[in-house]
Structure 1
Amino acid sequence: MEKESRIFLAGGSGLVGSATLRALRARGYSNILAPTHKELNLTDKVAVERFFAMQKPEYVILAAA
């Protein structure tokens, strides 16, 4: 991954996700999309499709439980 890559981190506020977010930032990744559950409900298919269409992440990390 390039340092400027657009990364979607699902579950970024949880235990594993927050550790992943810190590790990515520590390694110089800055274009990280980590919406909260209130910002993006992963069980809402339409909302997820809309998010992907608008944000166009290059990488997806699933840390949501």
Structure 2
Amino acid sequence: MAFEAALGMERLCTIREIAQKAELGAATVHRALKNSREVRAETRRLVLETVCLLNEEKIARAARFVGG
């Protein structure tokens, strides 16, 4: 989890977290998020699904924390 000290709060997922979860390289994730032509559609789909999954997990965790 990345912590944004200036804001005093946790950010949503980072490229490294996405890469680790999707078992891809950080550069591949970066290119997929930038919609590069070098990235296959299947890989781009995997990256986007992983982003959604990680963000949902963090949002749910935050909701449990706030909800008590």
**Structure with the largest fraction of helix:** 2
**Structure with the largest fraction of strand:** 1
TM-score norm. by structure 2 comes to: 0.31
The structure showing larger relative contact order (alpha-carbon pairs under 8 Å, at least 6 residues apart) is 1
TM-score norm. by structure 1 comes to: 0.31
